[in-house]
Amino acid sequence: MYSFQILHYQLNFAFLAKTSRDALTSKSTWLVKISNGPNIGWGECNTIRGLSVDGHINYSSVSIPSISNLNENPPSTIEEVYQWVNKFIPIQFPALRMGFETA
């Protein structure tokens, strides 16, 4: 059975990171962890506020209820994980979808 977590990290840059719109000294990122016994997959929900379509979203408020439901009835195959992503993560959250898909 698979288990799922979404973890928040604050990245503090050692240098000024320039984007097309701004310069950043730090950035929030979200990591998706999918475990199946000894196998662990990681995916990053990489967003940059002001540049990413879903860069303004706090994924803990969006996804944790879904994650709780997912952990209560975990998929048994990777295909079921993909089906869950397609069903429950809206296309308006491309970074979150990518995090799950890469994990």
Reported as a single tens digit per residue, the pLDDT across 72-93 is 777 888 888 888 888 878 788 8
Segments in the chain below pLDDT 50: none
Question: Which pLDDT score, from 0 to 100, does residue 38 have?
Answer: 93
Question: Which pLDDT score, from 0 to 100, does residue 7 have?
Answer: 86
Write down how long the chain is.
103
Question: Which pLDDT score, from 0 to 100, does residue 22 have?
Answer: 80
Look up the pTM and report it.
Answer: 0.76
The torsion angles phi and psi of 72, rounded to 5 degrees, stand at -75, -35
